[in-house]
Amino acid sequence: MARLVIFEDARAEDLAPLALAINETIRIPVTLRSANFPGVRVEKGKVLDKSYSGPILEEVIRSGKPARTIPDSGAYRGVPVSVAPILVEGKTIAAVGVVDVVGTVEIPEVFGAYADVMRQVKEKTAEKR
């Protein structure tokens, strides 16, 4: 019987199927490690590292709290990431992270441009009447 089990001693081989599924679903880089062992780094449907740990994954495992930040070291240094703990009965057994694509977007700039585009469309529509 095939099954997927995540526990504090899970190894990269245990976590890879879940990381690959998440990566395939959201199409952005995914990292996943257990509390006691390094895990995986997955990009573009491939496991790139089977002994992966990053500073934010480690911080989230220690704190048990999610983090959205830009790491200053590791594979994603300088890139916004979002990492969440996997909690079971209040204990952090693993952490999963993704590149935070929302964190890479200048929201005021995007919405400012959207407002300008909408104003231009309304002006052109009014001119045609």
Q: What is the CATH number of the domain that holds 75?
A: 3.30.450.40
CB 96 within 8 A of CB 86: yes
The pLDDT of residue 117 is 66
Range of the domain at 50: 12-104
Number of domains observed in the structure of the chain: 1
Average model confidence (pLDDT) for the chain? 89
The pLDDT of residue 84 is 98
Tell me if 37 is assigned to some domain: yes
Tell me if 113 is assigned to some domain: no
CB 81 within 8 A of CB 17: no
DSSP state of 4: -
Rounded to an integer, the average pLDDT of 11-32 is: 96
Tell me if 112 is assigned to some domain: no
Tell me if 93 is assigned to some domain: yes
